[in-house]
Chain A
Amino acid sequence: MLGSIKRVNSPEDLDKIAQEVKERETQYKAIISFCTSTGCVACGAKKVLEELRNEIKKRGLEKEIYIKETGCLGMCEGGPRLLIYPGEIPYFRIKPEDASEIVSSIVEGRVVEKLLYRDGATGEAYRTLHEIPFYKYQLRLLLANNAKIDARSIEDYIAVGGYKALAKALFQMTPEEIIEEVKKSNLRGRGGAGFPTGIKWETTRNAPGEPKYVIVNCDQGDPGAYMDRAVVEGNPHSVLEGLIIGAYAIGAKEGFVYIREEYPLATERMLIAIKQAEEYGLVGENIMGSGFSFKVTVYRGAGAFVSGESSALMTAIEGKVGEPRPKYIHTAVKGIWDKPSCLNNTKTWATIPLIILNGAEWFRNIGTEGSSGTMIFSLVGKVNNTGLVEVPMGITLRDLIFKIGGGISGGKKFKAVQTGGPSGGFIPEQYLDTPVDFDELTKLGSMMGSGGMVVMDEDSCMVDAARYFVDFLLGESCGKCIPCREGLRVLSRILNRICEGQGVEEDIQTIEEISEVMRDASLCALGRTAVNPVLTSLRYFGDEWIQHIREKRCPAKVCKNLISYYIDPNECQACLLCLRECPTGAIKGDKDQIHWIEQEKCIKCGTCYQICRFNAVKKLSGEPIPPPPIGMKPIRRGKEVR
C-alpha cells in the first residue's frame, strides 16, 4: 500500500488510488517498462536490469527515471527488451553494456538507433511499438496492459482501470444479469474445447448442492504454448478479478488457482497478487463492503499433462492422483468432492472483466459469428517473429504466419502448421487461407486447443512429428483405460518402426483401425484426441508415409535410421573442428586432408552438421553414399560461411 487508502470500501476508493498512482507517475521524466518474465530472464534480463539501475543511481536520476518490472511484452525472440514511456519506444536484444547509452538517450531526449527493431527485408527501423508489423496487426486486449503494470503492484493495475468491473458487478448487477451478459457475449472457453462459458456458469449456478467452487486452470500442458504463463506473470490481477466476478455470479465462496509446477515465477506472482488484493479487501471477507466473501488458494501441479484435463484437475485438488473420471455427469454439476464446480481456463477468466466493463455487444463485434473476441496464439517454430500474438478470431492462417510472423526463417519453404497442441493436427499449405476460429479448425481435423501454433518448414518430417506427439502422449497418459494406454503403446511401436525403416504396408490400415477404437472408446479427451496428429499427418502428407514405408527414405532428412551424414569434399576446409567434437570419433582426416565420416561409427547425433562453419556436412537419404575421399587435399575457399 503506497497511498492514503488502506482498504477499498467503495468504488470511489479505487478512483482515489488510481489518481494517486497517476500523480506519482507524472513526476517522473520517463518510465521504463522492463520485461522480467521467465523468457527474458533466460536471455539475461536480470544483468541488464542491474546495470540500468546502477547507471541511474550513478547519475542520481532516481527521481527522474522509474523502472517497472513487467510481464511479457510479446516478441520474445527479441529479449531482453524494454519500452520507454513517453513515446512507447521499444528496444530489443539489450546487453548490459548498453545501459549507459540508454540512460543518456533518455536524458538527452533521443533514441538509441541500434537497439530498435529493424525489418528484415527493408532494414527500416521502427521508433514506436505499434508501428512494428508484428504489433500493428494484433488486437491486444488481454496483453495490452502488461506494459503498463509492474506485476507485483496492485496499484498499477487499479490505475489502468483494474477492479472497476468487480465494483460494477457487485454493486450494479445481479448474479443472473452477469450470467446473461456472459451468455450474450458468446464467450467460448479458451482452454481448448470452446464450450460456451455463459452456459457453463448457468449450469453450475443451477446445479443442486453447496458449496460451489470456481477454478482457474493454469496447467498449460500443451508443449509450445505459454500464453497462460504470460497472462499470469504479466497481469495476475485480471485473472483474479474475473474469478471473483464469476464466483459472485455462480454463488461460490471458494476458488482455486491451479498452476503447473514448471511455472515457478507465475506461482510467485499470483501469490503476491492474492496477498495484495487481500490487504486491500478486494478478496476475502466482505469484499469492498458488499457483503460477498470469497477465498482463493493456489495449488501447484507436479508435472503431469493429463492433470490439466478438467476432471483430473479436480481430482488432483482433492489430494488424490490427477486422473480423469468419466464425465457423463458434467463437472459443473458434480465436480470437486461431488459439488458443483466451474472450471475455466486462465484466459477465459481474464476476459471477463473486459466483457463486464465494455458490454457483451462490444465483445461480440470482435471476431467471427461463431467465435467472438480475441485469442492469444503462441506463434513458435520456424517463423522469423516468434512470440505471443493476440488477434481477433477470423484472421487467416496466412496473415498470422506471414504478416505477423514475418514468414519462414532462414528463407525456407512452409510445410505445415500444427495447432492445438497434442490434441490438434497439422494443417498444410492449401488451407492457409482458412480463418482461425473454433469450428473452422475442427472441420480440418485439427482443433483450436489452447492456442499453440507451431510452424514447420521443409526440414520437418511429418512422420517424425506424428511419432513425437504419440510418444509425448504415451508418456503423459494416465494409463487407466485400455484403449488409450495400450493403443498409444502399440501406435508408438508402429510409428517408431516406420521411422526406422521397418514399416510394412498394413501399418497404415492398423493405425487407422486402432485410431478408430481410441477415438470412440477412450475414457477422456486425451485418448480421444490423441489420434488427431497421426490422422491429419496421414491425410495431408500421405506421400511422405509411403516414402518411409516403401522406399525407406525420409525426404525431410530427419529420421535417423534413414539418413546418413556425408562431408562434401568440395566444401570441406579440413579445419579439424568436427573431428574433435565427434562423440564417437567417427570422423577421419587430418589438418590438410579432407575429413570423411566412417559410417559404421556414426550415431547421427548431428554435431558435425551444426558445428561446421563451411556448410560442408550434408545429409543424404535414400541415395548411395559416395566412397570416402581418403587423402584428398581441400579446395581453399578463404571465407567462413557462418
Chain B
Amino acid sequence: MVVTLKIDGKEVRAKEGMTILEAAKKVGIEIPTLCYHEGLEPYGVCRICSVEIERKGKVQVVAACCYPVEEGLNVVTNSPRINKLRKVILELAAASAGEGVSGKMRALASEYGANLSRFRPLLSDIEPTRCILCGLCVRRCVEANWDAAIGFIGRGVNRRIVIFPEKETLCLTCRYCRDVCPTGRACPSYGPNPPFPTVDDVIAGRA
C-alpha cells in the first residue's frame, strides 16, 4: 500500500512499512545519522536523526530511522529546535567519548557547530573512550556471525563493548567492525586487532 506524506514541504509517495528516513532519501533529503547503516536493522539510539512530525494537531519529536510512514504526516527535518537538539546530543556524546573523535561524528559536529569540549571538564576523571556505543560494530558482527565475537555488557554508564576470547578466532579473517565505526574508535589504524578489551579484563576491573 502506498501512502502520501510531506517532508520539508515536498510531497512523497512511499510504500507502507518504510521509515521516514528511507522515504526522505527517495526525494533526495538527507537526514543525518550516526548509528544507522543500510544493511542493518535500525537501532535508534543516537537520536541524531530526530525530526519533528505533526499528526492530529500535535507536534512530536521522533527518530526518523524507526518511525514508519503514515498517511498525511507532516515532517520537518530542519528547524531551530531540531538543530539545537542535534548540537547538544553531539556535545553530550563527546562528554565521555572525548574531543578526539574522527570520522562521521567530527563532520557532523562541525556542521552543527557543536563544541565537543563543552562537558569534558565535568567528566575530567574519565579517560575519553572515543566510543559512543552506537552499536554498529556489534550489530555488524552479529549479522555476520550470529554467535558474535564482540558484544555489549553492562547497563547504563557501565555499558561497554568487549570481545570474548573464546570467539576471537572469528576475527582472523573478518574486518567488518572496523568499516562501520562513526567515531574512528574501531578504525583500521587504531589500536590492537581487534580494538576492544576482553570481557575478563573488564569484569575484573583491569580495563
Q: Is any CB of A less than 8 Å from a CB of B in the complex?
A: yes
Interface residue B24 (Cβ < 8 Å from any Cβ of A):
no
Are A477 and B155 also in contact (CB < 8 A) when A489-B95, A490-B122, A520-B61 are?
Answer: yes
Q: Do A523 and B44 touch (CB < 8 A)?
A: yes
Across-interface contacts of A406 in B (CB, < 8 A): none
Interface residue A486 (Cβ < 8 Å from any Cβ of B):
yes
Across-interface contacts of B154 in A (CB, < 8 A): 479
Q: Do A476 and B156 touch (CB < 8 A)?
A: yes
Q: Do A485 and B159 touch (CB < 8 A)?
A: yes
Residue of A whose beta carbon sits closest to that of B94: A486
Across-interface contacts of A478 in B (CB, < 8 A): 155-156, 159
Interface residue A514 (Cβ < 8 Å from any Cβ of B):
yes
Q: Do B61 and A521 touch (CB < 8 A)?
A: yes
Interface residue A121 (Cβ < 8 Å from any Cβ of B):
no
Residue of B whose beta carbon sits closest to that of A322: B155
CB B168 to nearest CB in A, in angstroms, measures: 23
Across-interface contacts of A523 in B (CB, < 8 A): 44-45, 47, 63
Contact of B47 among A306, A329, A490, A522 (CB under 8 A): A522
Across-interface contacts of A479 in B (CB, < 8 A): 133, 154-159
Q: Do A521 and B50 touch (CB < 8 A)?
A: yes
Q: 1/0 contact trace for A393-413 toward B, CB 8 Å?
A: 000000000000000000000
Q: Do A520 and B123 touch (CB < 8 A)?
A: no
Residue of A whose beta carbon sits closest to that of B126: A489
Residue of B whose beta carbon sits closest to that of A520: B61
CA distance A621 to B158 in the complex (A): 35
Q: Do A482 and B156 touch (CB < 8 A)?
A: no
Interface residue B88 (Cβ < 8 Å from any Cβ of A):
yes
Interface centre among A474, A487, A520 (most CB of B within 10 A): A520
Q: Do A490 and B89 touch (CB < 8 A)?
A: no
Residue of B whose beta carbon sits closest to that of A517: B88
Q: Which of B82-104 contact A (CB under 8 A)?
A: 84-85, 88-89, 92-93, 95-96
Across-interface contacts of B155 in A (CB, < 8 A): 304, 306, 476-479
Across-interface contacts of A490 in B (CB, < 8 A): 92, 95, 119, 122-123
CB B32 to nearest CB in A, in angstroms, measures: 13
CB B96 to nearest CB in A, in angstroms, measures: 6
CA distance A58 to B3 in the complex (A): 80
Contact of A514 among B88, B152, B158 (CB under 8 A): B88
Q: Do A493 and B122 touch (CB < 8 A)?
A: yes
Q: Do B46 and A481 touch (CB < 8 A)?
A: yes
Q: Do A482 and B46 touch (CB < 8 A)?
A: yes
Q: Which of A464-521 contact B (CB under 8 A)?
A: 474-483, 485-490, 493-494, 497, 513-514, 516-517, 520-521
Q: Which of B58-87 contact A (CB under 8 A)?
A: 61-63, 66-68, 81, 84-85
Q: Which of B156-189 contact A (CB under 8 A)?
A: 156-159
Q: 1/0 contact trace for A221-251 toward B, CB 8 Å?
A: 0000000000000000000000000000000
Total inter-chain residue pairs, C-beta < 8 Å: 98
Q: Do B68 and A329 touch (CB < 8 A)?
A: yes
Across-interface contacts of B156 in A (CB, < 8 A): 474-479, 485, 488
Q: Do B132 and A517 touch (CB < 8 A)?
A: no
CA distance A487 to B91 in the complex (A): 10
Across-interface contacts of B119 in A (CB, < 8 A): 490
Across-interface contacts of B158 in A (CB, < 8 A): 479
Q: Do A486 and B50 touch (CB < 8 A)?
A: no
CB A523 to nearest CB in B, in angstroms, measures: 6
Q: 1/0 contact trace for B136-167 toward A, CB 8 Å?
A: 00000000000000001011111100000000
Across-interface contacts of A514 in B (CB, < 8 A): 88, 92
CA distance A481 to B88 in the complex (A): 14
Contact of A483 among B62, B66, B89, B123 (CB under 8 A): B89
CA distance A274 to B155 in the complex (A): 33
CA distance A476 to B158 in the complex (A): 11
Interface residue A585 (Cβ < 8 Å from any Cβ of B):
no
Across-interface contacts of A329 in B (CB, < 8 A): 68
CA distance A513 to B154 in the complex (A): 28
Interface centre among A479, A480, A482, A520 (most CB of B within 10 A): A482
CB B157 to nearest CB in A, in angstroms, measures: 5
Across-interface contacts of B61 in A (CB, < 8 A): 520-521
CA distance A521 to B82 in the complex (A): 10
A-B CB contact pairs (8 Å), 29 listed: A321-B152, A328-B62, A328-B67, A478-B159, A480-B43, A480-B133, A480-B135, A482-B45, A482-B132, A482-B133, A483-B92, A485-B159, A486-B92, A486-B95, A488-B157, A489-B95, A489-B157, A490-B95, A490-B119, A490-B123, A493-B123, A494-B122, A514-B88, A517-B84, A517-B85, A517-B88, A521-B47, A521-B63, A523-B63
List 8 A-B pairs, minimum CB-CB distance, nearest first: A479-B159, A486-B92, A520-B61, A521-B47, A326-B66, A479-B156, A493-B122, A477-B156
Q: A490-B122, A520-B50 are known contacts; what are 15 more A-B pairs with Cβ within 8 Å?
A: A326-B63, A328-B66, A479-B158, A480-B43, A480-B159, A482-B133, A486-B95, A486-B96, A488-B156, A489-B123, A490-B95, A520-B81, A521-B50, A521-B61, A523-B44
Chain A residues engaging chain B, CB cutoff 8 angstroms: 304, 306, 321, 326, 328-329, 474-483, 485-490, 493-494, 497, 513-514, 516-517, 520-523
